[in-house]
Homo-oligomer: A and B are copies of this chain.
Amino acid sequence: MEKNKPTLHDVAKVAGVSIATVSNVLNNKSTELGKKTRQKVLDAIDKLHYEPNQFARSLKTGQSNLIVFIVPDQNPFFTEILTELNNECQKHQLHVAVVSSEENELRQQALIETFIARNVSAIILVPVKSKLKFKKEWSQTPILTIDRKVDGTYLPSISVDNKKAAFDATQRIIDSTCKNIGLLLANPDISTTSERKSGYEQALKKNNIKLDEQLIYYSNQQLGTDAQIDSGYHATKSLINKQVQAVVATNHLLLLGALQAIKESGKKISQDMIIIGFDDSYWNEIYTPKLSVISQPTKEIGRVAGEMINHLIQGENVSSIELNTKLIIRESCSFIKDKSL
């Protein structure tokens, strides 16, 4: 008879602590634990040659326990979602691997096929277009879309109310007494772009401001991280040339490009121009002036995605969900009244 491998229980016994404590150490959740307790657990693991190998176990059962998260680019928005998704998936002994489609539809298609052929447990997809060539062989593998949606499929999705988000941003700028508002959008083929455009239009309409298509810019066809920043940069330069004093930049990369163009032009935000971006980051808080943004609930998206994917893997039904965004008002969206300051 094969000698039994040591269990979490054995480690707890030898270390003289609870199973929960061992689990906390394994998951690096050691904030509340003393250094001594932590060391006791690590010593017990060493002594028993314990291997916390859920994955090796799962291999025997034929389940891959591997989730593939297909992102379109390196926007920090996705890495923030990933952090919480990882935490949630760990609870269910699911493992997340990230691959990038680089906004290339053919590449996305190949990725989905490859990983389905490799028996991944599920796919979390940020689709590169709102159309997806869905194949019937895929129907055995749970696929969840996040951020962007696809038309005409029954794939469950996690999204945010993009129309309201862009409406809120535009309305806030109008409230700052600005009527000429430039809009920086991503690729026209994705659902988030059309929804955000529609929120912008709705805000203008509500305030009886005539829509000027010349103030709306889409990002370059040549996609990817650098291309998006570049698009935001060139569009904002054009807007500045048109004497536009307000910009809504509908993602983090477009915002970066816009800030670069404003800085180069010598214009000062809050004095000469105002701006609202999308997606919160540490930089927004430490920038001068502090940057106002529409914050998307990245942590919640990650956590809910982990929960939903677990339900799907268990064969349970889930419903699509739309989360709310929040306008975080900092300094960049208001004019300083006294320009001599």
Task: Give A residues with C-beta under 8 Å from B.
Answer: 26-28, 30-31, 35, 45, 51-56, 59, 64, 66, 68, 74, 76, 79-80, 82-83, 86, 95-100, 102-104, 106-107, 109-111, 113-114, 117-118, 221-225, 229, 256, 259-260, 263, 282-283, 285-288
Give the residues in chain B near A260, CB-CB below 8 Å. 282, 285-286
Question: Are A28 and B223 CB-contacts (below 8 A) given A52-B106, A82-B100?
Answer: yes
Residue A95 contacts which of B51, B114, B286 (CB distance < 8 angstroms)?
Answer: B114
Establish whether residues A53 and B286, one from each chain, have CB atoms under 8 Å apart when the complex forms: no
Q: A74-B79, A86-B100 in contact; A113/B52 too (CB < 8 A)?
A: no
What is the CA–CA distance of A54 and B111 in the complex, to the nearest angstrom? 10
Contact partner, A222, options B26, B30, B45, B102, Cβ 8 Å: B30
| Chain B positions within 8 Å of A27 at CB level | 104, 107
| A59 cross-chain contacts in B, Cβ below 8 A | 114, 117-118
Residues of B within 8 A of A282 (CB): 229, 256, 260
**Residues of chain B contacted by A74 (CB below 8 angstroms):** 76, 79-80, 82-83
- Interface pair B102/A86, CB less than 8 Å apart: yes
A317 to B230, CA, bound (A): 40
Most chain B CB within 10 A, of A26, A28, A64, A111, is at: A28
Identical chains bound together, number: 2
A54 to B114, CA, bound (A): 9
Tell me whether A288 and B288 are in contact (CB under 8 A): yes
Contact across chains for B28 and A104 when beta carbons are under 8 A apart: yes
Residue of B nearest to A110 (CB): B53
A225 adjacent to B26 (CB under 8 Å): no
Across chains A and B, which 4 residue pairs bring their CB atoms closest together, nearest first? A55-B114, A97-B97, A28-B104, A74-B79
- Which listed residue, B54, B110, B223, touches A110 by the CB 8 Å rule? B54
Q: When chains A and B are docked, how far (Å) is the Cα of A277 from the Cα of B25?
A: 32
Q: Which residues of B contact A28 (CB under 8 A)?
A: 102-104, 107, 222-224
* 8 Å CB contact of A26 from B52, B106, B224: B106
Task: Given A45-B106, A59-B117, output 5 extra A-B contacts at Cβ < 8 Å.
Answer: A55-B117, A66-B118, A79-B79, A98-B99, A260-B285
**Chain B residue with Cβ nearest A58:** B114
Partner of A56, one of B45, B55, B113, B259: B113
CA distance A95 to B100 in the complex (A): 10
A–B complex contacts, Cβ < 8 Å, 11 sampled: A28-B104, A30-B222, A31-B222, A51-B110, A53-B110, A55-B114, A56-B117, A59-B114, A79-B79, A98-B98, A283-B283
**Cβ of A322 to closest chain B Cβ, rounded Å:** 26
